[in-house]
Structure 1
Amino acid sequence: MLSKSNLEFLSLLKENNNREWFTENKKKFDNEHQKVKEFFNEIGKSLGKIDSIERIQIFRIYRDVRFSKNKLPYKNHFSVGFSRTKPMLRGGYYLHIEPGASFVGGGFWEPNKDDLLRIRKEIALDASELREIIKHASFKKYFGILEGEELKTAPRDFDKTHPNIDLIRKKQFLVVRKFTDKEVLSPNFEVEVLESFKAMRPFFNYMSDVLTTNLNGESII
């Protein structure tokens, strides 16, 4: 399980986000990061027993500031992503640890234009399966709603009066569950993370079916 010291280090880093402080506290960072990595890898092992995972990516603490207005050199969080095995399986799981702002998430953050068009066409044709998934009790329990940025109006070549325009307008298709610090430090946190990931599966499986077939339901891979 995660420890209070993991969150305490991140709080100190937020208050002292500069290279001098980080260099002086590099050993402490290494210790805390190692413990968090072990936790992330345990999550990955457990997730690999219930889904096909091709990659575990533990993200670096160092920020790429080259093209950002925010020039702070370090992130204030620890995070990891778990990619499902392509090309058959789509979607990715994400775990973010940050004092006061921890969450699990998943879905389609920046689908390429072809995938986004394919999803929109499927929704325009028939959104009943997707609506059934996002109205299911387990989905609502863990995530509440389907999140993500959306257009203010209909995308090009789609009817703005379409009954499913609320879903067609979306540019992202995301699910998020937030956790308090108390929940993060609970002995049951790993279980809750995995249960959240399990609850994403029907949504991921639907998107996988859509993105690996044409509108006739024929495989394209």
Structure 2
Amino acid sequence: MESKTLHFLSLLAENNNRDWFQENRKLYDAAKADMEKLVGYLITEVGKFQDLGNLQVKECLLRINRDIRFSKNKAPYKNNLAAGIGPGGKSSGKIDYYLQIQPGDLSFLGGGMWDTTSEQLARFRQEIDYNADELKHIIEGKEFKELFPEIHGDILKTTPKGYPKDHPEIELLKRKQLFFVHRYTDKEVASKDFGDMVVNAISLLKPFTDYMNYVLYEQPAEQ
């Protein structure tokens, strides 16, 4: 990405109001175009190893405007540019690859189980109880752990209902969220190889998102 995109986002963080934004609309338009170019590249390259259908850039980009209706923070804009890349785009309702560009070494690629229903959590726990090895084989692989070393998300303080405290996979069973993140420095984001870095990370994250999408959304319910 262009370094001027990170510069714009830094300025926006310091001047997060509508007047400044409108006065500097050209800077935002340039940053948005830079993000669109990156997302277009990712769609092309990821499409070589995953069927994304006829995915369009506009289906991936998230709005920079914040929903402030129920927030104490009334800043009208996000301090980042973000996209959800996967079949169906940001609104598919399934797990995708979430890319966020934010200065201060806060950019990251992430994906996983985050906002789930009680039914989906039950399906996940049932799968872990039945066969945890498939998931563990993915997330404990050497290359995966090098890029995604830590599980993020909330954990139950108590044992989930229906499972014994001494279950061999109790730590996975207690998970309410299971999300992985790879962070990028500003230097990496501004490098000419950034797009390829993200493609490589997505290729390593794909088996995990495939697994989670199957368990949460595609696996036939037991009769």
TM-score normalised according to structure 2 size: 0.88
1:98 to 86, 98, 102: 102
Question: Is the CA contact (8 Å cut-off) linking 2:113 and 2:212 kept in structure 1?
Answer: no
- Hey, what does 1:123 align to over in structure 2? 128
Matches within 5 A, 1:7-26: 7-26=6-25
Aligned residue pairs, count: 214
Letter of the aligned partner of 1:123 in structure 2?
I
Q: Distance in 2 between matches of 1:215 and 1:30?
A: 46
Q: Distance in 1 between matches of 2:69 and 2:16?
A: 17
Question: Is the CA contact (8 Å cut-off) linking 2:107 and 2:185 kept in structure 1?
Answer: yes
CA RMSD of aligned residues (A): 2.1
Question: After the TM superposition, which segments of 4 or more aligned residues of structure 1 sit over 3 Å from their partners?
Answer: none
Q: Match of 1:117, SS?
A: helix
Unaligned ranges ≥5, structure 1: none
1:77 to 76, 80, 84: 80
Matches within 5 A, 1:10-159: 10-53=9-52, 55=55, 56-84=59-87, 91-100=95-104, 101-159=106-164
Question: Is the CA contact (8 Å cut-off) linking 1:134 and 1:146 kept in structure 2?
Answer: no
Q: CA deviation at 1:204?
A: 2.1
- Hey, what does 1:194 align to over in structure 2? 199
Q: CA deviation at 1:91?
A: 2.5
* Identity %, equivalent residues: 40
Q: Distance in 2 between matches of 1:81 and 1:187?
A: 22
Q: Match of 2:151, SS?
A: coil
1:181 to 180, 186, 204: 186
Question: Is the CA contact (8 Å cut-off) linking 1:84 and 1:91 kept in structure 2?
Answer: no
For 1:16-65, what per-residue CA distance to the aligned partner results, in whole angstroms no more than 9, with x for missing partners? 01111111111221122112212112212221221122554201111000
- Hey, what does 1:213 align to over in structure 2? 219
Q: Which moved more, 1:95-104 or 1:139-148?
A: 139-148
Letter of the aligned partner of 1:124 in structure 2?
D
Q: Match of 2:203, SS?
A: helix
Unaligned ranges ≥5, structure 2: none
For 1:156-213, what per-residue CA distance to the aligned partner results, in whole angstroms no more than 9, with x for missing partners? 2222221111001111111100000011111111111011000012212322443433
Q: Which moved more, 1:102-111 or 1:58-67?
A: 102-111
